[in-house]
Every structure is written in C-alpha cells, then in structure tokens.
Structure 1
Amino acid sequence: MTDTGAKFPIIRLRAGILVLIALIMVSSAAGRWMATLFSLGWGWATLIGIAVALLIALIVTRLDRLAYFGIAALVTLFAAYTAYDFARGPIDWSAGAAFLLALVPAVLLGAAFWDFRHFVSEVRAWANSRS
C-alpha cells in the first residue's frame, strides 16, 4: 500500500476537515436539542454535545461496513431534513430554496462519512503493518 498521505497531504486535510465539520454539526444539533428538550442552558448543551461527539467517535470506529454506511445514511438524511425544516419553518423560505439548503449538509456529511471510512481503513492497515 502506498502512502498517499505523504504524496497528497490535501487528501488527509480534506478528510479531517469534513469529519470535523460533520462531528461538530451533529453533536451541536444533538446537544442543543437535548438542552432545549429539558429546558437547560447553553453550558449544558455544550457538555451534551461533547458527550455525543465522544460517543459518536467511539461507536463509528468499531462498526462493520454495512452498519457504518447505514448509520451514515441515517445521519446524513437527518441533517438534511433538519436544514430543510429550519429553512421552511423559522426562515420561511420556499420549498426549492430549502431543498438547496438541505443539499449542503447532505453533501458535506456524505463526503465526510465516505472519506472517514477510507481514512480509518488506511490507519488500521498502517497500524497492522507496524506490529
């Protein structure tokens, strides 16, 4: 296996940025939702978001391929629906504009999950070759 990270460092940077954006987006939405549900403040929302991010990282690294892509599809659809619902409700955009807005998190999350899966498999292969 060739070390594409050394030849193309932008590939590793892109995967890391997309995963970070996806993790921040999902964990902050979950933290804010839980805090709102229980009438808690922003501090609690932040703590809940951090806990969700840690749980996501732990779970995602241990999934098999089919479960990973199933969960990735559900999370991507949830994020797209959340963006669509926000644009249609509080912002009161048209259905077409809300759909275009919903494509942004869908594309970002889809690319992030795809890159992260390949990144994790490359790190595992590298770790296995070192031992």
Structure 2
Amino acid sequence: MVQSADIREWRNEEVVDADGKKIGVLEAVYVDTRSDEPTVVTVSIGLPGRRKLVFVPLAGAVVGPGYLRVAYGKALVKDAPSMGTDDVLPVENEKEIFIHYSLPYEPGPSGERQLARR
C-alpha cells in the first residue's frame, strides 16, 4: 500500500502501467473521505494543448525510482473517466470512476463524496 506522505511527494513523476509502459504524469491525489487514505490519483495524459486528467485507483500501486506503477493497463487507464486540467471532479461523476475499474462505490450515508482532492 502506498502511504499518504509518500504519494504526495510523487506529484509530477511518471505513472506507468503494470507492464512498465508510461501512461502520463501524476497530477493530484484524492483520498477516501472516511479514512483520509490516498485512494485515487489523476494522471495528466495527451499532447500539449490537449491534455486531460484521467483517474486511476491506487490499489496495488507501488513506487519505484522516479515512477509510480499502477496495477492497471495503459489502455484501461486511457479510457477512464477524465476531466480537463483546470476542472473539478463533480460529485455526480465519482461513481463512474469506480464502475470503470470494477470497484465498489461507497458514498457517505447522506450521499457525501467518497473522494476529496488533497
């Protein structure tokens, strides 16, 4: 498991898939609102002027010298829910991230967000 203090230090580092193929650059960390543990990161992908941020879960991720290796393939990540580089994740779009990666989505009892950017 990637620790909170560790993952925040990896912003702007390369993110690679399970096979070591470069996906993009780590942009932001999202924590689970109940545990405050890092759960998802956004990765900047695309060409200059056409960049977007895709969401990638941290389950199974490991850090190496100069990279974060996620447990998902590049193709799956590139097709993940995304947003513009200056956008904010709307609460109604959170569930799509979890569905895309076949992970359970568990908002708060009153519908509170599951993810918060740190």
Normalising by structure 2, what TM-score? 0.26
Bigger strand fraction: 2
Normalising by structure 1, what TM-score? 0.24
Looking at CA atoms only, which structure, 1 or 2, has the larger radius of gyration?
1
